[in-house]
């Protein structure tokens, strides 16, 4: 099955939209196929500001209608407690909110950007999507991440080389309570490193310390700017550490 065939069979759909590589290409493909489509972006403490701005830009460039929803994910004590299956409860809350909003707008089928490279396994988030009957056409059509980036580049989408991004909650160790303060501190720290030219990196929380993970080709930049990085992040963290393992 091709995406064109999928949208022919499902001409009215809602898309859970993040502004990332996969959901942007999915939205573009739906619009190009002539489907009646609406994107839903959920703003929460787990998403940094730049993700919201990217989503706005991507929706505008693809010509899609987008509805922005707001959700207090930390209101759920199961999410706040940050167990190993936190993603399950978070996906239930986020996609449940999208499904309610989409139904209000007359859209009964919800899609997400899971692709054929994503390992379903027993991932809690995937389990939640299955239970909520969310369809993943990129995966169903066998499109891998590499293919989606190539197709996105050919389509002229600015997201084609956007680094993969996991929500801010993933920077906090499982079992440690998630708070708005910890999330905001992480967003500020990563925003600062991004302003220095770093891409595709993480600032993880470890016992009150900032544990920085960067790609090998950016180690030189990190060493070069180490003093100012340590000084800036040291304002909010007990210590600033470099993690030499892959993220």
**44-103 residue pLDDT tens:** 999 999 999 999 999 999 999 999 999 999 999 999 999 999 999 999 999 999 999 999
The pLDDT score that the predictor gives to residue 165 is: 87
| CB of 45 closer than 8 Å to CB of 21 | no
Q: Is residue 168 part of a domain?
A: no
- Mean pLDDT (whole number) for 143-150: 96
Tell me the three state secondary structure of residue 39.
strand
Q: Is residue 41 part of a domain?
A: yes
Does 110 score more than 70 pLDDT?
A: yes
Domain of 197, CATH number, reads 3.30.70
Q: Is residue 143 part of a domain?
A: yes
Selection from 202, 210, 218, 204 nearest residue 236 by Cα = 210
Q: Which domain holds residue 121?
A: 3-161
The pLDDT score that the predictor gives to residue 164 is: 87
Do 134 and 189 fall into the same domain?
A: no
**181-224 residue pLDDT tens:** 999 999 999 999 999 999 999 999 999 999 999 999 999 999 99
Provide the mean pLDDT of the chain: 95
Do 115 and 230 fall into the same domain?
A: no
Do 29 and 140 fall into the same domain?
A: yes
Domain of 88, CATH number, reads 3.40.50.620
The pLDDT score that the predictor gives to residue 126 is: 85
- Mean pLDDT (whole number) for 230-243: 96
Confidence tier at 1 by pLDDT (50, 70, 90): confident
Distance of CA 158 to the CA centre of its chain: 16
177 Ramachandran zone, left/alpha/beta (phi>0; psi -120 to 50): beta
The pLDDT score that the predictor gives to residue 247 is: 57
Do 47 and 108 fall into the same domain?
A: yes
Q: Is residue 230 part of a domain?
A: yes
* Sole residue written with tokens 């936190």: 86
Do 155 and 211 fall into the same domain?
A: no
Q: Is residue 167 part of a domain?
A: no
Q: Is residue 171 part of a domain?
A: no
- Considering its fold, how many domains does the chain have in total? 2
């Amino acid at each position: 099955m091709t995406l064109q065939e999928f949208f022919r069979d499902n001409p009215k759909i809602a898309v859970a939209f993040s502004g990332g590589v996969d959901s942007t290409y999915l939205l573009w493909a739906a619009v190009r196929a002539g489907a009646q489509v609406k994107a839903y972006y959920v703003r929460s403490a787990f998403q940094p500001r730049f993700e919201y701005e990217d989503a706005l830009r991507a929706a505008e460039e693809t010509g899609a209608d987008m509805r922005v929803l707001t959700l207090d994910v930390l209101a759920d004590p199961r999410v706040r407690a940050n167990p190993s299956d936190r993603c399950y409860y978070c996906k239930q809350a986020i996609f449940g909110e999208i499904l309610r909003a989409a139904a209000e707008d007359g859209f009964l089928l919800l899609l997400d950007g899971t692709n054929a490279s994503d390992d379903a396994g027993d991932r809690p988030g995937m389990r939640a999507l299955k239970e909520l009957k969310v369809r993943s056409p990129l995966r169903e059509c066998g499109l891998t991440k590499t293919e989606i980036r190539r197709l996105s580049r050919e389509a002229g989408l600015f997201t084609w080389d956007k680094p993969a991004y996991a929500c801010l909650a993933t920077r906090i160790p499982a079992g440690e309570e998630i708070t708005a303060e910890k999330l905001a501190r992480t967003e500020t720290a990563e925003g600062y490193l991004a302003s220095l030219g770093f891409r595709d990196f993480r600032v993880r929380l470890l016992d009150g310390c900032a544990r920085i993970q960067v790609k090998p080709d950016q180690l030189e930049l990190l060493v070069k700017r180490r003093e100012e990085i340590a000084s800036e992040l040291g304002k909010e963290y007990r210590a600033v550490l470099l993690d030499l393992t892959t993220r």
